[in-house]
Amino acid sequence: MKMVKRFDPLSVMRIAAICYGCLGIFEGAIFSVVFTLLPLSVREGTHLHRFFPLIFGGLSIVFFPILFAVMGAIIGGLGAAVYNVSARFVGGIQVEVE
């Protein structure tokens, strides 16, 4: 058995930013579709700005990947730091490698 004793927080932050950024693209695409279709579900007589789907739909495809990447990097880095501190006291994660 091999033991993982330490994670480099910066490397974890890079990987987490990439992974969560990709999830953000997926989430942004979903919200973009939702905001694009939202005007179709509004009752007649209700005023919804005609640029609403363009603004929120377009911004969500840009905003969500950035938000997810930043938050994923921060949380990933903090998680790696907490793991490093706790691994000093109780040992690391044991991994069987072949």
Tell me the pLDDT tens digit for each residue of 29-79.
Answer: 998 888 877 776 666 666 666 677 777 778 888 899 999 999 999 999 999
Give me the pLDDT at residue 97, please.
80
- Amino acid identity at 23: L
Residues present in the chain in total: 98
Largest CA distance in the chain: 68
Whether the per-residue pLDDT at 9 is higher than 80: the answer is yes
Q: Are 91 and 2 in contact (CB under 8 A)?
A: no
Give me the pLDDT at residue 94, please.
87
Give me the pLDDT at residue 51, please.
72
Give me the pLDDT at residue 42, please.
66
Give me the pLDDT at residue 22, please.
95
